[in-house]
Amino acid sequence: MELLSGAEMVVRSLKDEGVEYIYGYPGGALLHIYDAIFQQDDVKHILVRHEQAATHMADAYARASGKPGVVLVTSGPGATNAVTGIATAYMDSIPMVVISGQVMSHLIGEDAFQECDMVGITRPIVKHNLSIKHPSEIPSAMKKAFYIASSGRPGPVVVDIPKDMTTPTDRFEYEYPKSVKLRSYNPVSRGHSGQIKKAVDLLMSAKRPVILAGGGVIAANASEQLTELAKLLNYPVINTLMGLGAYPGTDEQFLGMPGMHGAVEANMAMHHSDLILNLGSRLDDRITNATEKFCPTAKLIHVDIDPSSISKTVAADVPIVGPLDSVLNELLKLVKASNITPDKEAHGNWWKQIDEWRARHGGRYRTDDSELMKPQQVIEILCKVTKGDAYVCSDVGQHQMFAAQYYKFNKPRRWINSGGLGTMGFGLPAAMGIKLNYPDEEVVCVTGEGSIQMNIQELSTCAQYDLPLKVILLNNQSLGMVRQWQDLNYESRHSQSYMQSLPDFTKLVESYGHVGMEVTKFDELESTLEKAFAMKDKLVFINIHVDPFEHVYPMQVPKAAMRDMWLSKTERT
Amino acid sequence: MRHIISVLLENEAGALSRVVGLFSQRNFNIESLTVAPTEDPTLSRLTLTTVGNDRVIEQITKHLNKLIEVVKLVDLTEGDHIERELMLIKVKAVGAQRAEVMRSVEIFRGQVIDVTSTVYTVQLAGESDKLDAFIKVIDPANVLEVVRTGVSGIARGEKTLAL
Ligand SMILES: Cc1ncc(C[n+]2csc(CCOP(=O)(O)OP(=O)(O)O)c2C)c(N)n1
Ligand SMILES: [Mg+2]
């Protein structure tokens, strides 16, 4: 057997795990590992400008590919800089392996230089974490980390490695395990057939059904089965923010996104339904509004791989614990074989009602209340120019909601956003992670002038690795989402939500060697975007000035039911 | 309602802090917690008592089960079970109080395990209620120190929590 140092084992484990890229930043505790990286070329290292960006790059790769992204950060400040990105991945159940350097083991607990308790700090925001006690543990610990991160409900795993575990002269036998078995961790592989049978009976006899698809469907690669089931039953489908693309956004059975900024027809249909088939949505507070007023007439079938997501916020009538792909396969089989005749008349009336809601409110925004360009228009044109087929990586704020509402995602894993944690600064590094791994795809970062400045230093990384992504900046010169809440709840007292002293973005991006463009008039928008997207090998940053007073609508009325929404600044449901 | 949850946990560094962290992180209530290795040195047995409605208890057991190091768990209060807690209590005992305290110790089937001219140290085992009751019969002014282990529990009959 081969003898390797701990540092070499870390790198070799990554190779044996099939990892192509890792994202990181060096430091004292990692010097042995970085030296091992230098001496091979199987695993390629991407040097970011801030560790947070490394985590978002790895995270976005995982969102697009379904495989765990890998991050390497040094002890102390390197590790703490990664915390936001780890929490971001955790909230959205994204598989990720974060290797953090640690001070020498004999110094742990002595407040040594750049010491921090990474295992302690990350405990509540990881699926699991472990620290290495002996170099020979490294291969099995790495295998365990990848296995836990990517199986069951995926999530980030931190492996903390004290520097003396990687000493080049201490060599041990290396063999990468083919598999791991943990007696205390056995993710379910299929749903309970009795429960699935019950669900099918409810599905077949429902009069006003809706199918709600969350991020779980995407994580389980179960979009095809979802689409087949919805088509077979001809039931309306709603994708959550994390589920956008799970069911095709341009299909007529698609009602949009539910919740706080959900589509009117989606929220109305859920509220008035008699059955919700919830596939892998957590039903969090941004969806349900007040849980005690949530969908009063609906029975709830809740399918999730994580039992703790079921009946957490809303009690399920039929809980099914299992992976979405296998549960959906089983549902399909039983629906096809069911001898219950669907109530065609009831379904006809239900669709008629839904179409009425859709016709009255669906996808509308006003253009007559301002001379200025509307952010919604920008997203619609973006969707048109990119043929609805780009990877859209969003930051957090109004622009995120507009992108979610107006970009029509027909495929899963194309909409990349921080849904759970809502991390400003996610968008640009996420787009970088995707462009690096999918160089032939169109990759867009939709951002605001607030969010982009949280990781704008990464324009330098883009230059170093030649990442010709496109940045669509919806510049409303304010922290728009904050301002919107201040307009609605604080009599427009705009406390700290105004973005003063913005840089000249064009000059800024040019200084990094990229192309900057600026759009102020709607009739220049499409041609500018065409021009930008035609520049295949350039990062183009398009600063688009939009109406700073625009709000995101619909917006649910707080503490009310799903159907209670503001439709504009003056109209309510 | 009060529940006693018994957990088999990998006997690994950091496993216990994950359990404790879970309770504070998710705003679950913890009344007592005991933990020690079992006859199998790779496993610890942890007993915790908590209070909550069915929905909360369901979430507690689900989240505990999600922790990678939790091997198995049972809510003992769902079936017949026995619970015990040990208390060491130091009581001021001078003059007439000495006989008085002794009498209470006998009634409660406790033991005096250390004596000085002014103090009795009493050991008492039983259900938590019984320990509470004992404390109540002693004049609060005479209670010098109370140390309780927290509840340990086990199912009655053939049922076991084992691998
Ligand atoms: C790191 C972080 N800090 C604060 C917030 C709170 N927050 C949510 S949206 C928002 C404003 C975002 O402004 P901008 O990026 O310009 O987007 P806009 O809403 O204007 O489209 C803020 C401050 C957050 N989500 N993330
Ligand atoms: Mg803004």
Give Rg (Cα) of chain B: 18
CATH number for the domain running over B2-79 = 3.30.70.260
| Residue range A5-26: mean pLDDT, rounded | 98
Q: Residue B96, exposed/middle/buried by CB under 10 A (0-12, 13-18, 19+)?
A: exposed
Whether residue B122 is predicted with pLDDT greater than 90 in this model: the reply is yes
Distances (CA, A) of B159 to A111, A218, B50, B64: 48, 41, 22, 21
The residues lining ligand 1, judged by C-beta closer than 6 Å to any ligand atom, are A 395-399, 422-425, 448-451, 474, 476, 478-482
**pLDDT at site A54:** 99
Q: For residue B7, give the chain A residue with the closest CA.
A: A184
> Does A307 contact B62 at a Cβ distance shorter than 8 Å?
yes
From CA A9, how far away is CA A33, in angstroms rounded?
Answer: 9
Domain spans, chain B: 2-79, 82-152
Give chain A positions within 8 Å (CB) of B69: 184
CA of A25 to the centre of ligand 2 (A): 30
> SS3 of B3, please?
strand
Q: CA B16, B18, B19, B22: dihedral to nearest 10 degrees?
A: 160
Residue A370's pLDDT is: 83
Segment A243-258 shows an average pLDDT of 98
Contact A73, A100 (CB under 8 A): yes
What residues of chain A have any CB closer than 8 angstroms to a CB in chain B? 119-120, 123-124, 127-128, 130-131, 148, 182-185, 306-308, 311-312, 315
User: What's the pLDDT score for residue A369?
Assistant: 82
* Predicted confidence (pLDDT) per residue in A296-332, tens digit: 999 999 999 999 999 999 999 999 999 999 999 999 9
* Phi–psi pair at A444, nearest 5 degrees: -120, 140
Q: Indicate the residue of A127, A184, A308 with minimum beta-carbon distance to B62.
A: A308
CA A469 – CA B125 distance, rounded (Å): 70
Q: Which atom of ligand 1 is nearest to the CA of A474?
A: 21
Mean pLDDT within B59-70: 97
A104 has catalytic annotation: no
Contact between chains at B66 and A306 (C-beta distance less than 8 A): yes
Q: Do A375-552 and A2-174 fall under one CATH topology? A: yes
Which among A421, A507, A418, A392 has a CA at the least distance from the CA of A456? A507
Tell me, yes or no, if the pTM score tops 0.90: yes
Q: Is B53 on the interface with A (CB under 8 A)?
A: no
Summarize the confidence of residues A30-57 as an average pLDDT: 98
Q: Are A182 and B68 a contacting pair at CB < 8 A?
A: yes
The pLDDT of A341-352, averaged and rounded, is 98
- pLDDT over 90 (residue A366): no
A432: enclosing H helix or E strand? helix A427-437
Q: What are the residues facing A324 on neighbouring strands?
A: none
C-beta atoms of B10 and A184 within 8 A: yes
**Cβ-based burial of B150 (10 A; exposed 0-12, middle 13-18, buried ≥19):** middle
Per-domain boundaries in chain A:
2-174, 193-360, 375-552
Residue predicted with more confidence, A303 or A368: A303
> Of the residues A481, A484, A502, which should be mutated to test ligand 1's pocket, given the most ligand atoms within 8 Å of the CB?
A481
For the segment B32-45, the average pLDDT, to the nearest whole number, is 96
Using DSSP's 3-state secondary structure scheme, residue B143 falls into strand
Residue A500: predicted pLDDT: 86
- Tell me if residue A254 is catalytic: no
Question: For residue A363, is pLDDT > 80?
Answer: no
Mean pLDDT of chain A: 97
Which residues of chain A does B25 touch, with a Cβ-Cβ cutoff of 8 Å? 124
Pairing of strands A2-5, A44-47: unpaired
Q: Residue B125's pLDDT band (boundaries 50, 70, 90)?
A: very high
Instruction: Exactly one of A91, A424, A481, A555 is catalytic; name it.
Output: A481
Q: Is residue B57 classed exposed, middle or buried when 0-12, 13-18 and 19+ CB atoms within 10 A define those classes?
A: buried
> Does A51 participate in catalysis according to the annotation?
yes
The catalytically annotated residue of A114, A453, A457, A464 is: A114
Q: Compute the distance from residue A562 Cα to the ligand 2 centre, in Å.
A: 27
Model confidence at A371, in pLDDT bands (50, 70, 90)?
A: confident
Cα–Cα nearest to A333, from A237, A206, A193: A193
pLDDT, tens digit, 9 for 90 and up, residues A175-220: 999 999 999 999 999 999 999 999 999 999 999 999 999 999 999 9
Q: Are strands A44-47 and A21-25 parallel, antiparallel or unpaired?
A: parallel
Question: Which of A423, A471, A419 lies closest to A447 in space, CA to CA?
Answer: A471
CB contacts of B71 in chain A (<8 Å) are 183-184
C-alpha A517 – ligand 2 centre gap (Å): 17
Section B42-47 average pLDDT: 97
- Domain at B82-152: CATH code: 3.30.70.1150
Kindly indicate the confidence band of residue A1, based on its pLDDT and cuts at 50, 70 and 90: confident
CA A489 from chain centre, in angstroms, equals 29
**Is A148 in Cβ contact with B68 (below 8 Å)?**
yes
Q: What is the pLDDT of residues A78-129, one digit of tens each?
A: 999 999 999 999 999 999 999 999 999 999 999 999 999 999 999 999 999 9
Mean pLDDT of B73-81: 97
Cis peptide before A554 (omega within 30 of 0): yes
Record the tokens describing residue A2, joined without a space: 């081969």
**Closest ligand 1 atom number to CA of residue A451:** 15
* Averaged pLDDT for residues A130-155: 98
- Residues A548-554: what's their mean pLDDT? 96
pLDDT at residue B70 in the model = 98
User: Where are any strands of DSSP class E within A280-331?
Assistant: 299-304, 318-321
Q: Give yes or no for B62 touching A (CB within 8 A).
A: yes
Q: Tell me whether B160 touches chain A (CB under 8 Å).
A: no
The residue-averaged pLDDT of B98-111 equals: 96
- Per the listing, tokens 């027809």 go with A265
Q: Which pLDDT band holds residue A381 (cuts at 50, 70, 90)?
A: very high
Helices and strands per DSSP (H, E), number in chain B = 4, 9
Shortest-distance Cα residue to atom 8 of ligand 1:
A397
Give yes or no for residue A501 having a pLDDT over 70: yes
Is the Cβ pair A123, B59 closer than 8 Å?
Answer: no
Contact residues for A361 (Cβ-Cβ < 8 A; gap 6+): A263, A264, A265, A554, A567
B89 forms beta bridges with B122, B146
The CATH label, of 3.40.50.970, 3.40.470.10, 3.40.50.720, 3.90.45.10, for the domain at A2-174 is: 3.40.50.970
With CA atoms as reference, the chain B residue closest to A148 would be B68
Are the Cβ atoms of A307 and B14 closer than 8 angstroms? no
Name, in order, each residue with C-beta under 8 angstroms of B10's C-beta and a sequence gap of 6 or more. A184, B42, B43, B44, B69, B70, B71
Give Rg (Cα) of chain A. Answer: 24
Closest approach of A309 to chain B, Cα-based (Å): 9
Enumerate the residues of chain B whose CB falls inside 8 A of the CB of residue A130: 14
What is the fold of A375-552? Rossmann fold (3.40.50)
State the nearest Cα–Cα gap between A304 and chain B, in angstroms: 13
Q: How far apart, in whole angstroms, are the C-alpha atoms of residue B116 and residue B108?
A: 21
Write down the CATH number for the domain with range A193-360.
3.40.50.1220
How confident is the model at residue A184, as a pLDDT?
94
> Confidence band (pLDDT; 50, 70, 90) for A428?
very high
The three-state (H, E, C) secondary structure of A2-60, written as one string? EEEEHHHHHHHHHHHCCCCEEEEECCHHHHHHHHHHHCCCCCEEEECCCHHHHHHHHHH
Is there a contact between A184 and B71 if contact means CB atoms under 8 Å apart? yes
> What distance in angstroms lies between residue A238's CA and the mean position of ligand 2's atoms?
28
The ipTM (two decimal places) reads 0.93
For residue A186, the chain B residue with the least C-alpha distance is B68
Note the pLDDT tens digit of each residue in A130-140: 999 999 999 99
Q: What is the pLDDT of residue A362?
A: 66
Concerning whether A387 is annotated as a catalytic residue, the answer is no
Residue range A403-432: mean pLDDT, rounded: 98
